[in-house]
Amino acid sequence: SKAQLVIIGEGPLRRSLQALSATLHIADRVRFLGARPHAEVLARMRSAAALVLPGVQTGTGRAEGLGLVLLEAAATGVPVIASRVGGMPEAVIDGRTGFLVPQRDAAALAERLETLLDDAGLRRALGAQGRALVEERFDRCRQTAALESLYDSLL
């Protein structure tokens, strides 16, 4: 079966993306679900082949922060593809937990996505490494202990 793109969330680009999908004759393979409850987002994420977050830096220099959704995907064992911008590289180790691509590089993003869609073993391996990374680097108890240690050193 052909891959399907599911876009969850609302934003100012929704209408133009819907129009673009129609222009490209792929509207039957792109679903715009709008805003959804967090539990549903997590459930859909778990069944996805990958989570893709192609962030960009705006003209004013604003960029995606860490990208909590990247950590949520990794925690559920889903490989991710994200832009090498803002805080996203903190959540993705390129080639180990997912892939990082240059911002606004549609060809690189498509190539990485095709690589993942064609290789279930790679998806599983990257997903497992992503989960391990989240457990190791973003564990709440470890982060709290590190913060307390920092506070102690400042006092």
Name residues of the chain where pLDDT drops below 70: 1, 59, 61-66, 139-147
- CA 129 distance to own-chain centroid: 15
Q: What is the pLDDT of residue 151?
A: 78
pLDDT score of 37: 95
Long-range CB pairs of 52-55 (<8 Å, 24+ gap) are 52/80, 52/81, 52/82, 52/109, 52/113, 53/80, 53/81, 53/82, 53/83, 53/88, 54/81, 54/82, 54/83, 54/101, 54/103, 54/109, 55/82, 55/83, 55/85, 55/86, 55/88, 55/103
Is the model's pTM score more than 0.85?
no
Residues 6 or more apart in contact with residue 90 via CB below 8 angstroms: 66
CA distance 107 to 114: 10
Of 134, 130, 132, nearest to 143 by C-alpha is: 134
Residue 117 makes CB contacts below 8 A (sequence gap 6+) with 3, 49, 50
How far is Cα of residue 84 from the mean position of the Cα atoms in its chain? 11
Backbone angles phi, psi at 40, to 5 degrees: -70, -40
